[in-house]
Amino acid sequence: LDEWVCKSVFSYAAGLAMIRRTAEADVVRLRRYEIPIKRVARNLCLDPALIAAIISQESRVGLLLNNGWDQQQQKYGLMQIGGQRQYPYAVWDSEEHINQGSTNLVLSINEVRARHPTWTWDQQLR
């Protein structure tokens, strides 16, 4: 168990460092979406940094996409919305798409909050 815990902690720290480096590299591309991200965040009472972090992690701010789709053609857009629908939600890098992905995020967080009301905000967000 101790070995597993040590590996888990190491992986977590290494993962955070990698995420930080990725985000720093994506900042230039994220600037293009700064205004739409801030508008959506304000309307949904989210931290714009959370939306930007998801966009960075999911699609590298579009760098990993082909016409808005991931390599398996199953997720779409900056926030990589799953293919639950037959047609894409909106133009893959539009404010509307950022709003749709962020709305999905809020709905998911609210589901977790309803199921686990005693958890801290950090736990619910994870």
The angle that helices 34-44 and 48-59 make with each other, rounded to 10 degrees, is 120
Query: Scanning the structure block, which residue is given the tokens 């962020």?
Result: 102
Assess whether 34 carries a catalytic annotation: no
Dist CA 111 CA 3 (whole Å): 34
Residues 27, 57: Cα–Cα separation, whole Å: 12
Q: Which of 58, 95, 96, 111 is catalytic?
A: 58
Active site residues: 58
